[in-house]
Structure 1
């Protein structure tokens, strides 16, 4: 039997005016954090050609830097999600943004491979709270029926960031050198961290939130009737839904990591695009992905409001279709000789992947209660990045050995399509919704 969560009503001052639809303005902080976060990750791809030329690095070295980040980022997810649920999104987000900005800026001081590995590892640790904290903010500020669309908004930062990064960072590269890229991003991040800490508050503490909107936010917030053992952090791993989220997100992150690390190099070396033109051309797939991700979130929201369709089922159905479509399209890209057509196909594939990432990050709020959203999201992200970490390293090794990116595209497409299997077979019900919890068989 589910019981309603008792929440205090926000204080309404006679002097301070409330802000209409404040929850959507609050979401802007998560969006900005995502944009800066992914600009930091994309920086290595923009700087790579000059780093290879000046420091005698190889494509395998660049791939290794991407893999080190992903592995450290993956393992850091586990404590990050737990800390967010314990300490709250405000404190953890501020600390994370400030520290990842410093870690990014340190790259400008590097000249040896071990230094770059150290700095990318630090970035992996400090960026770990980003997505789980955004999921926590969404769970606190939005009713369940709006979370898919809200998640699509903040998750679009992972597409706007890589879209904005190439033209801006390429201009900085050409004008001031590759080191200036990392200094610029470090300064931007520190400003964002300060702004977030000063202005962000939870719904219960925000003085500009109206009683009407507070009631809407709390409309369907309930605590699921789960036993203390099932509610513990370690016991989450007993449920097949958790393993389904991890496996599905692994398939998504594998292909996403490939493009984050190697798309500019692929365009320059396989397609003959100049460094200057790469700055704009590499942005196109991410711009399309950002828009399609938002559209996907809107479709899921509308679909979930149909009679007899749960929010979880709506997300699962859309994700299955998007995973199959993205897998087929990614496999086709290297076999299309025309640059324009290949970019169109790649952009649509990226859009399908963007729909999957936003839906995946909205799923934890459908599977567990609000208290464990960040923890489950972090576990999912751990699974995605632990396995997906191999993607850039393998792609770099293959490119150095064969001079081709085609095998990496085909492998990535197959893995992306396999996400459908995980979501169809394992992610079918919320934890605690069945009489007997679904447990992974030994």
Structure 2
């Protein structure tokens, strides 16, 4: 019987196991995921920068809410369409190459967006950012499968995904500061793009596709990770499932695959709706100025960052105590879906702007628990197929990102307010809630 590709490569490179067992394991995997946290944070600073600057850009380009929705959604068209192809590339060539190319490419596209002379050039630049950013999250999901012990993947997933609310929160203040410092949004975007390119070089320097290939990883840490991989492969093989690369089509017949995709679709219907339209909602419905928008965005999405880190730690601790994986995941994510739904309903009926910010902070705190979904592709498909399944999941989520800004734009344009837009977010939260309760988080799919 031949060993799976990842296991075979690890075994071939393995140092003497006796010496490995005597040394204390290093913690390079956690340092790598902290770097990925920074990467995803910068990712969301760049993709959300247009939302913060939009009140200025809207006036400069003289565009109405319908075209604003089109501009906000342009990123998601190309980003969503690239997810499955880039997931295949990750499984084929490894996450290190893909994520580095992604980072350098989107930095260049962000800088180019600062030079846009009107609506059409900005639309094209935003589509370019979508293409180049596509490899980041599926690469992170693949690295979670390759680098993390099975008992740590909840924290790995949420550390990775927590960059989204952190970047959205910090981005509001950072981009506002850059606009003020640089004398306008254009140089702010160019500067952000240059910094992103430099981060891409750091990613190439530090990230490796296999723990054994990283100079700072000792034998004990590598063996700790690989022992978990062997146990997973043995359990899957006992169920008649192997760790070979299979692509996407065999998974389409499973309920859990579609629950994963629809759960991420509902999640992003809420998150991307608030990310893209949140600043304008605060500006137009609550009459906040640019500075207040920046700080409010920081509070709202900062709450999401804290919630995501705590949610991942709580899930791993409960599973480490022996609680059933399905009970842990369905209980935590079911609770988060309920609170998100009720919180969004509350936002639709409160008039006080401070209360609205508090409620949105609560919504983001619990919404981001669903970042645990970035551990699901590795569970359902194993390490060999984590990239393509992560790409499929992110495709479904970013279909929501593609249509939500447009739908909200037409709702706001037609009604002159945000109540029905918030109710659209409520519907998305309900889809998310149903999906997280029917997904089986405990076993690899038998393809």
Corresponding position of 2:184? 177
CA deviation profile, 1:35-66 (whole Å, cap 9, x unmatched): 11100111110111111111102222221122
State which of 237, 244, 257 in structure 2 corresponds to 1:242: 257
2:179/2:187 contact within 8 Å kept: yes
In the alignment, what sits opposite 1:70?
Answer: 76
SS in 2 for 1:418: helix
The corresponding residue for 2:216 is 208
Partner of 1:124: 130
Deviation at 1:362, TM superposition (A): 1.3
Which residue of 1 is the match for residue 333 of structure 2? 319
C-alpha distance in 1 between matches for 2:384 and 2:172: 38
Q: Does 1:423 pair with 2:436?
A: yes
Alpha-carbon separation, structure 2, partners of 1:319 and 1:61: 35
How far apart, CA to CA, are the structure 2 residues paired with 1:34 and 1:232?
26
2:415 & 2:445 partners in 1: Cα distance?
Answer: 50
Could you say if the C-alpha distance between residues 240 and 123 of structure 1 is closer, same or farther in structure 2, counting changes exceeding 3 Å? same
SS at match of 2:211: coil
2:298 alignment partner, one of 283, 287, 295: 283
- 1:35 corresponds to which residue? 41
- Structure 1 segment 145-224 matched on structure 2, within 5 A: 145-175=151-181, 176-201=183-208, 202-221=210-229, 222-223=232-233, 224=236
Equivalent runs, 1:2-401 vs 2, <5 Å: 5-6=7-8, 7-8=10-11, 9=13, 20-175=26-181, 176-201=183-208, 202-221=210-229, 222-223=232-233, 224-225=236-237, 226=241, 231-310=246-325, 313-356=327-370, 358-401=371-414
**CA RMSD, 1 decimal:** 2.3
1:10–1:207 contact (8 Å) kept in structure 2:
no
Contact 1:249-1:384 at 8 Å conserved across structures: yes
Distance in 2 between the 1:220 and 1:10 partners? 15
User: Can you list the C-alpha shifts for 1:342-379, whole angstroms capped at 9, x where unaligned?
Assistant: 211110101111111x2111111221211111111110
> Are the counterparts in 1 of residues 141 and 390 from structure 2 also a CA contact under 8 Å?
yes
The match for 1:407 among 397, 420, 424 is 420
Q: Name the CA distance, whole Å, in 1 between partners of 2:77 and 2:363.
A: 25
Change (3 A) 1:432 1:360: closer
Q: Deviations over 1:164-222 (max 9, x none)?
A: 11112112223411112210210111000111112222302112111111111112213
Contact 1:41 1:260 in 2 (8 A): no
1:277-317 CA deviation, whole Å, 9 max, x = no partner? Answer: 2111111111111001100001110121233513x552233
The 1:305–1:41 alpha-carbon spacing in structure 2 relative to 1, beyond 3 Å, is same
Residue number in structure 2 paired with 1:440: none
| C-alpha displacement of 1:228 | 9.3
Counterparts of 1:308 and 1:49 in 2: how far apart (Å)?
49
Deviation of 1:428 (Å): 5.3
Q: Give secondary structure in 1 for the equivalent of 2:228.
A: coil
The answer on whether the counterparts of 1:334 and 1:409 sit within 8 Å (CA) in structure 2 is yes
Q: How many residues align?
A: 429
Query: Higher helix share goes to which structure?
Result: 2
Residues 60-119 of structure 1 show CA distances to partners (whole Å, capped at 9, x for unaligned) of: 222112222112211100101110111111111111100011111111111222211211
Deviations 1:314-334 (A, max 9, x none): 223311211121011112113
Q: How far, CA to CA, are the matches of 2:284 and 2:140 in structure 1?
A: 36
TM-score when normalising by structure 2: 0.90
Distance in structure 2 (CA, Å) of the matches to 1:372 and 1:313: 25
Residues 113 and 428 (structure 1 numbering): CA distance in 2 closer, same or farther, change over 3 Å? same
- Structure 2 alignment gaps of length 5 or more: none
